[in-house]
């Protein structure tokens, strides 16, 4: 009996770690669940609702954002174990995860609600409420990106001692560079300084006949292209790190450096291409 | 009491329940109060409305759109229908809150599901069902 009692005492801090980690993971998992929960009715509505925005179904945008946010929160969830256990179960990681989930959910709720109302969510300042909502969404999106930047910094600065080097560098730098590049492209996209409000630069201002799946303009520049590549650095570099660890562990470090440079070059090149009014393809 | 009074009284009662559910701490006594006190009162109101007014409506019934429309053209029965929404939505909301607490969902993430249930009943329930299914799928894989 005494033995048991002492055992449980010794186990107590470890159990706290487990509970704290479960709390953070549960946040991200429930956040992912919310996105999926909105995606299912949105997908069904896509087939029965004939309302259009920019000549395509109102439900395309919520579906793209739902998919993208599942991917983003999922990336955080998968990369979390790379952080040292003490840090990972601490307040900072929890707060960054909470921030990511809250802003992602707020954003997707507004985008889905606007689709249901048959109204645009982005660049829509048609009514005072929508103008406020669009600004709040901008602030929320910035906070969402900053929270993944924070997680990335944690991975780089407080890694788990035995974390595989490629995944650690790929995950950390992927989140950091992805966040910075996303902030930059989103700011250029949202400012409306490049050829007026909207994601188009020149070309026909419609989403009809865009690139399959993505909807990017084929008649002119589209600022969503660099924004897409910037955001998905957050997945590309960790995946590169994972495969380097598996197939070429010796080259993990230089591999990630080269990969990061390539990613930034792609974002830069597609950005210049879009600003000059050329379609990606 | 006029249908207008019943409408506004029951709506305020339900609103109070939702505010408590979304904002207040989840004390067992409070949950009990929402369940038995508020939802109980709404259900009692519904029952009385049905007892008194439902069977008076000529040509009313559940068999066709026309019959249902005839029912809802009658103000007391329309209010009864509204109270039905209020009572059942709040009941479902309370169940979601209790179940979400048990599963350890953060209160800030419960709020949108509860608001959706408050506004559009089954939509909120669907959100909770799918969220829970996703959560179970993701945690089961880990364990």
For A76-90, what is each residue's pLDDT tens digit?
999 999 999 988 898
Residues of B in contact with A109 (CB under 8 A): 112
A218: three-class secondary structure by DSSP: coil
CB distance A65 to A107 below 8 Å: yes
A56: three-class secondary structure by DSSP: strand
Q: What is the pLDDT of residue A14?
A: 67
Contacts of A195 (CB under 8 A, 6+ apart): A201, A202, A221, A277
CB distance B3 to B78 below 8 Å: yes
Q: What is the pTM of this model?
A: 0.85
How large is the C-alpha radius of gyration of chain B? 18
Nearest to B106 among A22, A30, A77 (CB): A30
Q: What is the pLDDT of residue A2?
A: 47
Could you tell me which of A216, A182, A212 has the C-alpha nearest to residue A198?
A: A216
Chain A: residue whose CA lies nearest to B123: A41
Chain B: residue whose CA lies nearest to A110: B112
Taking only the tens place, the pLDDT of each residue in A95-130 is 999 999 999 999 999 999 988 888 887 777 778 888
In a 10 Å sphere around its CB, with 0-12 CB exposed, 13-18 middle and 19+ buried, how is residue A188 labelled?
Answer: middle
> Which of A3-12, A167-176, B78-87 is predicted least confidently?
A3-12
pLDDT beyond 50 at B18: yes
A53: three-class secondary structure by DSSP: strand
Residues of chain A by 3-state class (helix, strand, coil), percent to 5: 75, 5, 25
Residue A74 C-alpha, separation from nearest chain B C-alpha, in angstroms = 10
Rounded to 10 degrees, what is the CA torsion of A110, A171, A154, A151?
0
Chain A: residue whose CA lies nearest to B125: A37
Indicate if ipTM > 0.85: no
Interchain pair A36, B134: CB under 8 A = yes
Round to whole Å and give the CA distance between B17 and A272. 55
Q: What is the pLDDT of residue A252?
A: 86
Interchain pair A109, B112: CB under 8 A = yes
Could you tell me which of A194, A25, A195, A31 has the C-alpha nearest to residue A102?
A: A31
Interchain pair A34, B127: CB under 8 A = yes
* A and B: number of Cβ contacts within 8 A: 61
Interchain pair B129, A37: CB under 8 A = yes
| Cβ–Cβ contact A105 with B under 8 A | yes
Round to whole Å and give the CA distance between B57 and B129. 37
pLDDT beyond 60 at A9: no
pLDDT beyond 90 at B123: yes
Q: How confident is the model at residue A4 (pLDDT cuts 50, 70, 90)?
A: very low
pLDDT > 90: what percent of chain A? 48
Q: What is the pLDDT of residue A138?
A: 85
pLDDT beyond 50 at A1: no
- Bridging pattern class, strands A200-201 and A52-53: unpaired
Round to whole Å and give the CA distance between B19 and B97. 12
Taking only the tens place, the pLDDT of each residue in A156-181 is 999 999 989 999 999 999 999 999 99
Higher confidence at residue A214 or residue A95?
A95
Taking only the tens place, the pLDDT of each residue in A229-257 is 999 999 999 999 999 988 988 888 899 99
Mean pLDDT of chain A: 86
Chain A: residue whose CA lies nearest to B139: A29
Round to whole Å and give the CA distance between A217 and A199. 9
> Which of A60-64, A169-173, A182-186, A190-194 is predicted least confidently?
A190-194
Q: How confident is the model at residue A5 (pLDDT cuts 50, 70, 90)?
A: very low
Q: What is the pLDDT of residue A3?
A: 47
Q: Give the E-state strand segments of A34-184 in sequence order.
A: 52-53, 56-57
Residues of A in contact with B109 (CB under 8 A): 27, 30-31, 34, 101-102, 105
Round to whole Å and give the CA distance between A40 and A29. 17
Residue A129 CB coordination number (10 Å): 8
């Amino acid at each position: 009996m005494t033995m048991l009692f002492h055992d449980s005492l010794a186990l107590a801090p470890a159990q706290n770690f487990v509970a704290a980690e479960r709390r953070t993971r549960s946040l991200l998992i429930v956040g992912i669940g919310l996105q999926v929960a909105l995606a299912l009715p949105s997908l069904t509505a896509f087939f029965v609702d004939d309302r259009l925005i920019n000549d395509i179904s109102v439900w395309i945008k919520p579906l793209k954002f739902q998919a993208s946010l599942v991917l983003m929160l999922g990336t955080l969830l998968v990369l979390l174990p790379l952080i040292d256990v003490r840090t990972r179960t601490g307040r900072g990681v929890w707060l960054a995860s909470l921030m990511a989930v809250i802003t992602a959910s707020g954003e997707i709720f507004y985008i889905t609600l606007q689709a249901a109302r048959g109204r645009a969510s982005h660049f829509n300042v048609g009514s005072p409420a929508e103008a406020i909502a669009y600004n709040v969404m901008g602030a929320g999106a910035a906070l969402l990106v900053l929270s993944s930047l924070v997680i990335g910094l944690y991975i780089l600065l407080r890694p788990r001692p035995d974390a595989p080097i490629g995944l650690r560098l790929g995950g950390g730098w992927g989140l950091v560079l992805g966040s910075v590049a996303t902030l930059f492209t989103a700011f250029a996209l949202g400012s409306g300084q490049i050829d007026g409000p909207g994601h188009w630069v020149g070309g026909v201002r419609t989403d009809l006949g865009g690139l399959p799946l993505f909807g990017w303009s084929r008649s002119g520049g589209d600022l969503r292209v660099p924004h897409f590549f910037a955001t998905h650095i957050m997945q590309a570099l960790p995946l590169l790190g994972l495969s380097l660890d598996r197939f070429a562990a010796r080259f993990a470090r230089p591999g990630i450096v080269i990969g990061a440079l390539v990613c930034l070059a792609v974002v830069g090149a597609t950005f210049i291409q879009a600003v000059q009014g050329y379609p990606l393809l | 009491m006029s249908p207008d009074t019943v409408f506004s009284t029951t709506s305020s009662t339900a609103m109070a329940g939702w505010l408590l559910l979304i904002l207040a701490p989840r004390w067992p006594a409070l949950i009990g109060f929402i369940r038995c006190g508020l939802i109980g009162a709404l259900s009692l109101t519904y029952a009385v409305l049905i007892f008194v007014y439902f069977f008076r409506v000529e040509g009313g019934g559940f068999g066709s759109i026309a019959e249902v429309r005839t029912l809802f053209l009658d103000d007391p029965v329309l209010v009864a229908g509204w109270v039905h929404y209020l009572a059942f939505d709040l009941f479902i909301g309370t169940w979601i809150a209790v179940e979400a607490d048990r599963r350890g969902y953060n209160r800030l993430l419960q709020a949108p599901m509860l608001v959706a249930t408050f506004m559009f009943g089954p939509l909120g329930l669907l959100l909770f069902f799918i969220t829970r299914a996703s959560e179970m799928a993701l945690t089961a894989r880990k364990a």
